[in-house]
Amino acid sequence: MLTVKEKNNVHVCGKADAAQTIIFGHGFGSDQTAFAPLVSAFEADYKIVLFDNVGGGKADINAFSPSRYSTIQGYVTDLGDLLRELNLNNVSYVGHSVNGMIGLLSAIKYPSYFNKLVLLGSSPRYLNEPATGYVGGFTQDDLEQLYHAMSTNYYAWASGFAQLVVQNHDRPELANNFAKTLSSIRADIALSVAKAIFEMDHRSELVKSSLPALIVQTTDDPAVPKVVGDYMHQHIPNSQLASVHTRGHFPHVSAPEEVISILKSFI
């Protein structure tokens, strides 16, 4: 049996005896290395925990189960296992994209471990719902085209998707780096996880969160439109909303210094 550290490629750094811990959780197609500038900014004063989601990064590929990860609840269970194995407390959880929702659901399920929550470009629901007027950013047809492209030529899709969501076309290395981590995921696993993410709906859970929460968005995120951040701010009690002056879905990558400043004020 693998330990959680082995399964999720867990790395612990920073101040070992710190009173507070920061856990960084990466989004779909990314990995823990995306947080390097943020780790450097906080490791002198906090214990830092980094991990890779099963199915991505350097997490154990054999731990992936289509049934366990058919929804993001499998990742919530993984995070609970990590919290227990490392015996963590006073955790400020910084989750990018889907890992923001994983963090929020985990804080609801395991409240004693957490004290603050940061949602970087996160969304409770990516699919539009015309009947209620909810705008998530994607239609069902958009998703079917996305799944088809992933199934037909995964590596070509990964390159194009990276450029679309990262933006910052004047710095092509940012999209290239994301395309590299995205392409390293086995295509069938990436498709399975993408479906779990894009078809989830956790809007009803938002009101259950009692932690101080910081919602961070860029000025133009093609994956999570501004109205989604506004929606979460309206529905998550005790939440704040901050905008980072950069484009794309990766504020911690394209504007790390601004994100660090916002996090320091909040944490």
Structure tokens at 183: 């392409």
* 81: annotated active-site residue: no
Within a 13 Å sphere around the CA of 127, how many CA atoms are in the beta-carbon half? 16
d(C-alpha 96, C-alpha 119), whole Å: 6
90's CB contacts (< 8 A; 6+ apart) are: 19, 20, 21, 115
d(C-alpha 223, C-alpha 108), whole Å: 25
Q: Are 151 and 189 in contact (CB under 8 A)?
A: no
Catalytic annotation, pick one of 30, 97, 209, 254? 97
By CB atoms closer than 10 A (0-12, 13-18, 19+), residue 132 is exposed
Catalytic annotation, pick one of 78, 159, 221, 254? 221
User: In this structure, what DSSP letter does residue 267 have?
Assistant: -
Can you name the residues that pair with 7 across neighbouring β-strands? Answer: none
Which string of b and e fits 143-179 if b means at least 16 CB within 10 Å?
A: beebeeebeeebeebbbebbbebbbbeeeeebbebbb
Among left, alpha and beta (phi > 0; psi -120 to 50; other), residue 200 is beta
Can you name the residues that pair with 116 across neighbouring β-strands? Answer: 92
Catalytic annotation, pick one of 26, 96, 202, 249? 249
d(C-alpha 244, C-alpha 221), whole Å: 11
* 221: annotated active-site residue: yes
Residue numbers annotated as active site: 97, 221, 249
